[in-house]
Structure 1
Amino acid sequence: MTPAEKAQARSVSLRRIGALFIGHRKQLALVVAIIVVASVLGMASPFLLREIIDVALPHSDLRLLSWLVAGMIVVAAITSVLGVVQTWISTTVGQRVMHRLRVDVFSHLQRQSVGFFTRTRTGEVQSRITNDIGGMQSVVTSTATSIAANLTTVVATIVAMVALTWQLTLISLLVLPPAILLTRRVARMRQKITAARQRELAELNVIIEEGLSINGIQLSKTMGAGAAQIERFTGSSGRLIDLELRSELAGRWRMAAMNIIFAVIPATIYLAAGLPFAAGAMSIGTLVAFTALQGNLFRPLMSLLDVSVTMTSSLALFARIFEYLDLPVEISSPASPVRLDRVHGHLRFEDVSFAYDEHAPALAAIDLDVPAGSSLALVGETGSGKSTTAALIARLHDPTAGRVTIDGVDLRDLALTDLADIVGVVSQETYLLHTTIRENLRYAKPSATDAEIEAACRAAQIHSLIAALPDGYDTMVGSRGHRFSGGEKQRIAIARTLLRDPRILVLDEATSALDNETERAVQRAFDELSRGRTTVTIAHRLSTVRDADQIVVLDHGRVLESGDHDSLIAAGGRYATLARAGQPATADAR
């Protein structure tokens, strides 16, 4: 483990783990009560056995023998039924805790900023939600009840053993010191191995995500990297084999040593019972009952020690999950959000600066004023800050200085859900879900009617194509929508955004994947739909720029010039140079 991971693992307290069960106190109390009753009842069997051997059998008392045997059967039946009930309750509680933990992690990650996901590999996130929480399942679902059941059994067994013979009880308990010492050593080993195994599982998930996604497969085939990917996967899988073997073998030598000790203890007791000075000191029934109790002691004792090992090794899993739950939410809704009764769509940037890191400012002192219902076009070279400006409007990032406002209200004062209703974004990188076209569109507006869906698709010039498909709007789009062309995916994405009827449209290279004819058709739809809306367009072609009410040329995060098409051409600056060259600003990644 790295120093950071060790520090994180140490910070996971049993109190915090126990807090996961706070809402289930009554169920857990009932489970504990069932365990105590079952454990106490279970202690009756050795005493019934002693009476059978020492009294019923020697005196041929059939009536007593029948009652004693019936008693043993009843005890076994009752404890079995109680065991089923206890398992049902404890498993239900454990699964609900697991469900809540999964939902909490997923919900918390949903609230993280885009920056978190650009820094974190997708496979890593998936691994923590599936592998790490899955690895915690046995701890969450059965550890508490296992501790209660085994501890109760150990205490009841020791009391019963002392009642039979305190001398032999002392001999039996000699096993405790070496067992505890060996268990602590194994626990420390397992914790380190578990952390390494989960990191390797995360790496394997990343390889699968990168190598078997549709984009990954296409890249692998076109680059001839299949052999290298297989080698990478094989190496990671091989390391997992080693870690799994080490994890399994870490406690085997302890088990071997304990088995030897457990064999020595009853042998010593039998020897002691047969020595001359002990002859006649106890009956055969007492000796048999005691050895039966001793067996009942060692099993729960070992289970308790195993729980200790499991809990210690599982701290690495809890550390990884709590690390995600403890991530600060960089962009969140305010405690008392401002409500806009009527949104006009007046957009302003007031001395806005932004940096992805402190050494590389992406925007510096940006001032923009986009009146409601007007259109703004952003142009500039790669890296000039166009997409960053668009991202601030949707509050994918917050400015490091200055503020962005809609109708005079700082975006940070609006609820995120309200802002999502106000601002609609269509980006260059289209993402479609692996479901039907209809459901992809309803992702933007779950309550949308079929008529509304068709109207949005007509506006985006995609309805005719969808209607011509055998399954129409119920056609599966496939993984990431790869069954459609780039232009088709882009138009579906445009329809999805238009379905929400936002007051502000942000078109980040939204028509970049369209051919000239389709682009003109979509642009006509945008012109119609943009009436009364505020539209911000990142230009890909000059044809989408010249009719904008305002054109802003960005250069290294600063406003270089602004105006309408004619005034900028007359000024003879950067925009005029781009116009004369016939090549608008290229899209940038930021």
Structure 2
Amino acid sequence: MTTPLPASAPRTRTPRGHADSLPAPDGGGGRGMAPARLDPADRTQLRRHPVSLRRIARLFAPHRGTIALVVVLISAASVINLAQPFLVRAVIDDALPNQDVPLLIRLTAAMVGVAALTAVIGVVQTWRATAMGQHVMHSLRVRLFTHLQAQPLAFFTRTRGGEVQSRLTHDIAGMQSVVTSTATGVASNLTAVVATAAAMVALSPRLSLISLVVLPPAVWLSRRVAQLRRTVTDERQAALAQMHTQVEEGLSVSGARLAKTLGTTGHDAERFTGRSHELIGLELRSQLAGRWRMATMSIVFAAIPAVIYLAAGLPATSGGMTIGTLVAFTALQGQVFRPLMGLLNIGVQWVTALAFFSRIFEYLDLDPAIKPPADPVPVNPARVRGTVRFEGVDFAYDDGAPALSGIELTVPAGTTTAVVGSTGSGKSTLASLVPRLHDPTAGRVSIDGIDVARLDPADLAAIVGVVSQETYLIHASVRDNLRLADPEATDERLWAALETASLAGTVAALPEGLDTLVGARGHRFSGGEQQRLAIARTVLRNPPVLVLDEATSALDNTTEARVQTALDELAEHRTTLMVAHRLSTVMGADQVAVLEGGRIVELGAPAELLRAGGPFAALAARGDAVVPGAAPAEPALAR
């Protein structure tokens, strides 16, 4: 069974939330690098779903050669780049004072060569690391998408859609940043600090000791100021997120409709004005904090060489140092500050990286309740007769509440069975078992004697067509929506399907015809037109078994009559299981099954059940809806 996620699961954050904690792509981190700050949600995530380092290593196992090459390139670049200060010392102490032009040419050419070589190594390193990260991300993205597709509807019911999308896009993108930026940055910073420290000692052991006194307070001051700015930035980002949410909700089709119908446009404008005004103060604080941060960093970077120059000028600490050595040492000390700041963030970066992996693995570890058969029964959907049987079917949801109990029902091939009952009696649950949206807790559902659980999902989808109350249309053209059912369908077949659904005239009257965009969730069309478009889509599949789950219950009487006509034509010569609420619809069925409390309490031809005066007759007498063209009042069966 699928392991439910706790209701308290933290909202997944985008990688942007950790932008300040990631080193720059070159691994240096930059002068203004902010200290990483641990998000408590990351530790919570890791406590809930620990991550095995061995499992992470398996993701990168196919790329061992690339990893080794990247490490070699990073180390080589760090070591080669350290030649620059020694070349500068030689220029200042030897070539310039002695007017040695050939030596000067060789040294300056070497300086350019070192810079060019490290630049080329950096490009190759970035190329290989990014390619590796993209391949790992692609593999995870595909695995996660296909794994989530296999999850039951209950998973999508209890999980926020934004949460799923965030893990599939933002978290995996964050993992890619870990691979291409954080990991390479840590390796680069570590080699840079070690190599630079060794070079500093080689140049001047005395000044190296002084650096041990100067660097720690400079690092602490830089991190402290950066933390203050990070706090203000977090507040500004939170305010921007709230404003973005209001814009997204208030200026969408549904949001605009809600505001206009409830008369909340003025209130919404006031709320937006307040949030926008709040941003003024936060932006000022952020800019000032940023200016103080830059000012502090400027002071730090001026103070460090100043102390070195002072030490070099004092007889007690100079030790006969040459000017070239002083300049080279100062350059090295400036280089060690940035990677040192980067290394101080390793702990937080590590927790952040593990949290990304944890969120992805948490979804990958979900066990789909409905699994495709290991050895599916081969079947030709075109040869299926369509006899549907429910044999001793029980069903209970994850919370243990029974929805169906002891269902015994046969829908003969080519006939229509209507399922009616009061709200919560299990009608939609019963219908959902045929396309295998759920699996029975006990018993089985079969088509032509074959358990639907033993059919390949693609074959089952070709055999069973579903038209439900909720129609989902993608934001694309009419043609693209129809071709979801059959990507190879010609325009002639599309028009024929629309004609069957009584929608051909409506689409033909549109300026762009089949190329008309349906809009977000089909808002370009009315509810009845959306339903008929869904019917046309089902017609294209031409399934031998049809499940109609209250496909007209949300429509007005006039629209319902037109849609019902299309459904009647669709159901002709097919095995149809129909969850219905209109008496006129039910009376056309070959048999009616009445559900109460998840059990079939009455089964038979509709006219016979009305005459029997039992539960079906009581349901029919309870409603008061009117179908156009019917008698003054035609009952609607309780839904």
Residue 2 to residue 259, structure 1, CA distance change in 2 (3 Å): farther
Q: How many aligned positions are there?
A: 587
Residue 518 to residue 46, structure 1, CA distance change in 2 (3 Å): closer
Alpha-carbon separation, structure 2, partners of 1:67 and 1:27: 35
Query: Which shows bigger deviation, 445-454 or 6-15?
Result: 6-15
**Residue 575 (structure 1) aligns with:** 616
- Residue type matched to 1:349 in 2? F
Which residue of 356, 362, 385 corresponds with 2:426? Answer: 385
Residue correspondence of structure 1 range 427-506 to structure 2 within 5 A: 427-506=468-547
Residue correspondence of structure 1 range 118-517 to structure 2 within 5 A: 118-135=157-174, 138-173=177-212, 210-226=249-265, 266-306=305-345, 308-313=347-352, 315-341=354-380, 342-358=383-399, 360-512=401-553
Alpha-carbon shift at residue 318 of structure 1 (Å): 4.3
**Residue 85 (structure 1) aligns with:** 124
Alpha-carbon separation, structure 1, partners of 2:444 and 2:235: 44
The TM-score normalised by the length of structure 1 is: 0.85
The TM-score normalised by the length of structure 2 is: 0.79
1:435 is paired with a residue whose SS is coil
**Residue 21 (structure 2) aligns with:** none
Alpha-carbon shift at residue 379 of structure 1 (Å): 1.0
- Residue type matched to 1:8 in 2? Q
- Whether 2:116 is the aligned partner of 1:61: answer no
Residue 544 to residue 160, structure 1, CA distance change in 2 (3 Å): same
Alpha-carbon separation, structure 1, partners of 2:286 and 2:144: 27
Which residue of 38, 61, 68 corresponds with 1:29? Answer: 68
Residue 264 to residue 196, structure 1, CA distance change in 2 (3 Å): closer
Alpha-carbon separation, structure 2, partners of 1:546 and 1:176: 88
- Residue type matched to 2:543 in 1? P
Alpha-carbon shift at residue 569 of structure 1 (Å): 1.7
Residue 347 to residue 193, structure 1, CA distance change in 2 (3 Å): farther
Do the aligned partners of 1:432 and 1:477 also contact (CA within 8 Å) in 2? yes
Give the unaligned 5+ runs of structure 1.
Answer: none
Alpha-carbon separation, structure 2, partners of 1:190 and 1:348: 67
Residue 226 to residue 118, structure 1, CA distance change in 2 (3 Å): farther
Do the aligned partners of 1:350 and 1:404 also contact (CA within 8 Å) in 2? yes
Alpha-carbon shift at residue 433 of structure 1 (Å): 1.3
Do the aligned partners of 2:226 and 2:293 also contact (CA within 8 Å) in 1? no
Alpha-carbon separation, structure 1, partners of 2:372 and 2:226: 43
1:551 is paired with a residue whose SS is strand
- Whether 2:45 is the aligned partner of 1:8: answer yes
Q: Identity rate of aligned residues, in percent? A: 60
**Residue 637 (structure 2) aligns with:** 585
1:383-429 Cα distance to aligned partner (Å, 9 max, x none): 22211211222222222333222233333332322221121100111
Query: Which shows bigger deviation, 262-271 or 411-420?
Result: 262-271
Which residue of 105, 115, 129 corresponds with 2:154? Answer: 115
1:430 is paired with a residue whose SS is coil
1:536 is paired with a residue whose SS is strand
Alpha-carbon separation, structure 2, partners of 1:521 and 1:3: 45
- Residue type matched to 1:169 in 2? S
1:130-183 Cα distance to aligned partner (Å, 9 max, x none): 554455553343222222322222222223223223343344345787799999
Query: Which shows bigger deviation, 131-140 or 489-498?
Result: 131-140
Residue 243 to residue 444, structure 1, CA distance change in 2 (3 Å): farther
CA RMSD of aligned residues (A): 4.1
Alpha-carbon separation, structure 2, partners of 1:320 and 1:303: 25
Alpha-carbon shift at residue 338 of structure 1 (Å): 2.8
**Residue 590 (structure 2) aligns with:** 549
- Residue type matched to 2:530 in 1? K
Residue 423 to residue 305, structure 1, CA distance change in 2 (3 Å): same
Alpha-carbon shift at residue 553 of structure 1 (Å): 0.9
- Residue type matched to 1:548 in 2? A
Alpha-carbon shift at residue 22 of structure 1 (Å): 3.7
Give the unaligned 5+ runs of structure 2.
Answer: 1-6, 11-40, 623-633
**Residue 115 (structure 2) aligns with:** 76
Residue 508 to residue 216, structure 1, CA distance change in 2 (3 Å): farther
Alpha-carbon separation, structure 1, partners of 2:235 and 2:548: 44
Query: Which shows bigger deviation, 8-17 or 400-409?
Result: 8-17
1:378 is paired with a residue whose SS is strand
Residue 394 to residue 49, structure 1, CA distance change in 2 (3 Å): same
1:159 is paired with a residue whose SS is helix
